[in-house]
Amino acid sequence: MKTVSAEHLVKTYDKGEVRALNDLSLDVAEGTVLSVLGPNGAGKTTVVRILATLLQPDSGNAHVAGIDVIKHPDKVREVIGLSGQYAAVDETLTGWDNLVMFGRLYHLGKQQSINRANDLLERFSLTESARRPIKTYSGGMRRRLDLAASLIVQPKVLFLDEPTTGLDPRGRMEMWGVIEELVKGGVTLLLTTQYLEEADQLADEIAVIDRGKVIARGTSDALKKQVGGERLEITIENQDMAKVQEIVARISASPTHVDGRTVSAAVSTGSRALIEALRALDEVHIHPLDIGLKRPSLDDVFLSLTGHVAEETVAEPVKKKRGGKK
């Protein structure tokens, strides 16, 4: 039995005009991380909202920790934690106020709620700002507090809906660190993201969704192999193109591709390919304008899986758009 399973979920909005989920199925094994990867409007938030009992599907089944989401939403709520893309905490209250309140709502005793709040603030490096209203927090701090609020009773299953959307690079790195810690603690995690890099970093498995359907799933490596993995890219100014092409061909087993002054080819040896290329270029005194390993982006994944780029569709609930997504 999988810890999270969704079977043939269908959800439509506007009287069937908009199909947010179109026969979507997925599952997550106990203690693993599944990343649901897709562009805006692919149906990511809708899946999470159904699994977290906030939304009823038109048809299909869903189970979390063996409990039927549709028949026993109350029981599901006792074992899950949910953290959305905008911090769902009370902005006028302090971080500490919020966590104690949520503790009480999980029916912990007063002292227990206080202890738990202190522990979590400590763990998420928020102790110093604990007594400040949330509205004075940075984006990253808010997100961490929101995550802390979803961990008050150590959920069996955690849902994170785009946990780093809108964060600056530093905030994103911090958030990744926090999530990795959680995963080590053994929680079963389903997270949605628009960033392949994020899915790659955090997930055991990735499910790519497009227009309400899973279009590919597998480990990050498998998916990348399907997409073509990393590419070595060298851009030069006025030097000998043929020579560069020759160097790239020596390093890569795949065919080289020339686009203007840029030569590229898929490589499988990562940074070693980069070093080899630099050495070879140096030997023949070619100094590239730009050289690097390009990881496949969500666009590349989509392009190779669907033949179209990841485009924003309008299949998400109206409510979501108000959140001011970046």
Partner 1 sequence: MKHLLSDSIVITKRQLLQLARIPELLIFSTIQPVMFVLLFRFVFGGSIATDQPGGYVQLLMPGIFVQTVAFTLAATASGLAEDMKKGLIDRFRSLPISRGALVIGRTFGDALLNILVLVVMATAGFAVGWRPTSGFMRICLGFLFLFSFGYALSWIGIYVGLVVRDARVVQNVGFLVTFPMTFLSNAFAPTTGMPKALQYVAEWNPVSSMVAACRQLFGVKNEFGATASSWPSQHPLETSLLYMILLMVIFIPLSVRKYANTSN
Q: How many residues make up the chain in this entry?
A: 326
Q: Minimum CB separation from partner 1 for residue 75, in Å?
A: 8
For the window 147-186, what string marks contact with partner 1 as x by the rule CB under 8 A?
A: --x-------------------------------------
Cα–Cα distance measured from residue 99 to residue 117, given in angstroms and rounded to the nearest whole number: 5
H or E element that contains 227: helix 220-227
Q: Is 313 in the site for partner 1 (CB under 8 A)?
A: no
- Of 204, 265, 159, 266, whose CA–CA distance to 34 is shortest? 204
- Of 308, 262, 295, whose CA–CA distance to 195 is shortest? 295
The count of other CB atoms within 10 Å of the CB of residue 128 is 9
β-sheet bridge partners, residue 34: 190, 205
Q: Is 58 in the site for partner 1 (CB under 8 A)?
A: no
Binding range to partner 1, per CB under 8 A, among 101-109, 162-170, 265-273, 305-313: 101-109
Q: Is 80 in the site for partner 1 (CB under 8 A)?
A: yes
Number of residues that bind partner 1 (CB under 8 A): 34
Q: Which two three-digit tokens encode residue 81?
A: 């934690």
Q: Minimum CB separation from partner 1 for residue 231, in Å?
A: 39
Q: Which two three-digit tokens encode residue 35?
A: 């990343």
CA 126 to each of CA 130, 135, 162, 185: distance values in angstroms, whole numbers, following the listed order: 6, 14, 21, 20
Q: Is 319 in the site for partner 1 (CB under 8 A)?
A: yes
Residue choice 2, 8, 72, 104 for contact with partner 1 (CB under 8 A): 104
Q: Is 23 in the site for partner 1 (CB under 8 A)?
A: no
Q: Is 213 in the site for partner 1 (CB under 8 A)?
A: no
Cα–Cα distance measured from residue 313 to residue 316, given in angstroms and rounded to the nearest whole number: 8
Q: Which two three-digit tokens encode residue 85?
A: 């893309």
Q: Is 265 in the site for partner 1 (CB under 8 A)?
A: no
Residue choice 52, 190, 202, 247 for contact with partner 1 (CB under 8 A): 52
SS3 211: coil
Q: Is 89 in the site for partner 1 (CB under 8 A)?
A: yes
Q: Compute the C-alpha angle 49/55/58, nearest 5°.
A: 120
Binding range to partner 1, per CB under 8 A, among 19-27, 100-108, 285-293, 307-315: 100-108
Q: Is 244 in the site for partner 1 (CB under 8 A)?
A: no
Binding range to partner 1, per CB under 8 A, among 52-60, 179-187, 207-215, 249-257: 52-60
β-sheet bridge partners, residue 263: 234, 258
Cα–Cα distance measured from residue 190 to residue 287, given in angstroms and rounded to the nearest whole number: 45
Binding range to partner 1, per CB under 8 A, among 71-79, 115-123, 230-238, 248-256: 71-79
Where on the chain is the footprint of partner 1 (CB under 8 A)?
Answer: 49, 52-56, 74, 77-78, 80, 82, 84, 86-94, 97, 101-102, 104-107, 133, 149, 317, 319, 322-323
